[in-house]
Amino acid sequence: TRAGIPFGHSWDSARGDTSQTKGVRTVMFHVNEIGPTGIAIGLANGAAPLTNYIGADNNGVQYWNIGQTRKNGTWAGVQPPSFTTGDTIGMRADFNAHTVAFNKGGGAWSSTIDITSLGTDVFVAVSLGSSTTGQAAASITITSDDWNDYPWTTLNIVAVGDSMTNPVPGLRTFPA
């Protein structure tokens, strides 16, 4: 399935289709390709704008590939390691404590970021940077998750093993 997005955005984001409100949940991502603006993974509520990066306002929080976290449009105070193509990134959301932490390559978890402002229904979200002037690619794959209370993987930004790809400005691809 393909969906067009307005040409000229430097960021485009997507949310999962299932929110979560309880427990400790972990999602792992594999970074396939990073566009000129970057890739960010994180959490968002249903009000987060998808034509900007997650964390551009108080409806989301993200870990950007340059090793920066963002919330409410500014630095979130936590600086995990930078990541690049080929890296595996972990995200652990603790809904009991209202926090999120990140790691790179199975290493130590970062300090936590408060997610209370996101409210009660929180979704996994990713932001893919693109170019406003030419062709650029960015791609990330969800490799595992325990987002729901099932013994199998259930998270559907895209199916586990599939990729979300922003191959050129103006076109976002979600594998069927």
Which pLDDT tens digit goes with each residue over 127-154?
Answer: 887 655 555 567 777 777 777 665 555 4
Does the pLDDT value for residue 115 go beyond 90?
yes
- Indicate the pTM of the whole model: 0.80
The half-sphere exposure of 170 on its side-chain side, counting CA atoms within 13 A, is 6
Tens digit of pLDDT for each residue in 50-107?
Answer: 888 899 999 999 999 999 999 988 899 999 999 999 999 999 999 999 999 999 999 9
Alpha-carbon gap, residue 70 to 51, rounded angstroms: 16
Section 147-169 average pLDDT: 46
The rounded radius of gyration (Å) of the Cα atoms in the chain is 15
